[in-house]
Amino acid sequence: MISAAISQIKSELPQGVNLVAVSKFHPLSAIQEAYLAGQRMFGENRPQEFAQKAQAMSQWCLENHCEPVQWHFIGHLQTNKLKMVLPYAHLVQSVDSIHLLEAISSWAKSAEKEISVLLELHLGAEQTKHGLSEDEIKDILAHSDHYPNVRFCGLMGMATNTADESVVEADFTRIEALMGNVSAMFPQLTDFRELSIGMSEDYRIALRHGATIIRIGTKLFGPREY
Ligand SMILES: *Cc1c(COP(=O)(O)O)cnc(C)c1O
């Protein structure tokens, strides 16, 4: 069932668009089932669950002599939880404040690592206070050399949670335009090319607005039991 859902969604993705399977609240067995169906990128939004699953899957991959999972962190990250997330993260998609960016930067410096991030644009009216404004994003990128251990890979956004497609369209139009603007403003940032938009209910709209990463949970794993 998970494997059928993965093939279904992958068949809809243009070349160069990646699927992140959002496994939050689902057991390791579901992740392993997806892995065996060829899925390699997984996303989690809570630091402790992220760390536990990353460690368990790394063990599992060692035992089975298979290639490791790419873990994407997609939730709000408090600076006192960095050490649970950064050692395992292939990409931190949800950098939603300058304070968090500074903390990631100094962690990366002392660990002598490079951390890849997406900047999260505050999109959507009601559901979240998290995210950067367009001006903050431009300002960060104008000073990207202040963060030598951070690799800026693109933007992430969550559309307004509504059944009104025109509202979702407007949100994705805005982030797509910002992506175009900042790419033109900062051509020296050659890694800045990912646009992570689209979830189970709106990924088809996201694909029409330049998504390069979609983040799908429910449509792969079924409803979450909170
Ligand atoms: C949970 C979550 C998703 C996946 O949502 P679904 O509607 O289950 O596909 C995607 N992105 C973020 C940031 C999430 O927290």
pLDDT in tens, 20-32: 999 999 999 999 9
Place of tokens 């649970």: 84
Q: Locate the ligand 1 atom nearest the alpha carbon of residue 200 and give its number.
A: 9
What pTM did the predictor assign?
0.97
Mutation pick for ligand 1 pocket among 49, 215, 218 (CB with most ligand atoms within 8 Å)? 215
Query: Helices marked H in 1-133 — which ranges?
Result: 2-12, 28-36, 47-63, 82-85, 98-111
pLDDT at 77 over 80: yes
Give the separation between CA 191 and CA 55, rounded to whole angstroms. 28
Give the separation between CA 139 and CA 118, rounded to whole angstroms. 15
Cα of 179 vs its chain's centroid, Å: 15
Which of 44-48, 126-130, 141-145, 181-185 bottoms out in mean pLDDT, i.e. has the lowest? 126-130
Look at residue 71 in the predicted model and tell me its pLDDT: 98
Place of tokens 């660990």: 111
Q: Locate the ligand 1 atom nearest the alpha carbon of residue 24 and give its number.
A: 1
Give, in order, the Cα–Cα distances in Å from 7 to each of 22, 28, 182: 15, 20, 33
Coil vs helix vs strand at 49:
helix
Is 93's C-beta closer than 6 angstroms to any atom of ligand 1?
no
Q: Are residues 88 and 55 in contact, defined by beta-carbon separation less than 8 angstroms?
A: yes
Q: What is the average pLDDT across 81-109? A: 98
Q: What is the average pLDDT across 174-196? A: 97
Q: Looking at ligand 1, which residue's alpha carbon is closest to its atom 11?
A: 215
Q: pLDDT-derived band of residue 96, with 50, 70 and 90 as boundaries? A: very high
Q: What is the average pLDDT across 163-186? A: 97
Q: What is the average pLDDT across 151-171? A: 96
Look at residue 54 in the predicted model and tell me its pLDDT: 98
Q: pLDDT-derived band of residue 195, with 50, 70 and 90 as boundaries? A: very high
**What tokens does 79 get?**
């600076």
Q: What is the average pLDDT across 36-58? A: 98
Is 101's C-beta closer than 6 angstroms to any atom of ligand 1?
no
* Listed residue (86, 51, 75, 55) closest to 217, CA to CA: 75
Q: What is the average pLDDT across 177-201? A: 97
DSSP 132: B
Give the separation between CA 225 and CA 181, rounded to whole angstroms. 40
**What tokens does 33 get?**
């089932």
Give the separation between CA 110 and CA 97, rounded to whole angstroms. 20
Q: Are residues 36 and 6 in contact, defined by beta-carbon separation less than 8 angstroms?
A: no
pLDDT at 129 over 80: no
pLDDT at 126 over 80: no
Look at residue 128 in the predicted model and tell me its pLDDT: 67
Distance (Å) from CA 215 to ligand 1 centroid: 6
What percentage of residues in the chain have a pLDDT greater than 70? 98
Distance (Å) from CA 198 to ligand 1 centroid: 8
Measured between alpha carbons, how far apart are the two ends of the chain, in Å?
21
Distance (Å) from CA 134 to ligand 1 centroid: 22
Is 200's C-beta closer than 6 angstroms to any atom of ligand 1?
yes
Q: What is the average pLDDT across 187-203? A: 97
Query: Which run of H or of E encompasses 22?
Result: strand 18-22
Q: What is the average pLDDT across 34-44? A: 98
pLDDT at 125 over 80: no
What percentage of residues in the chain have a pLDDT greater than 90? 96
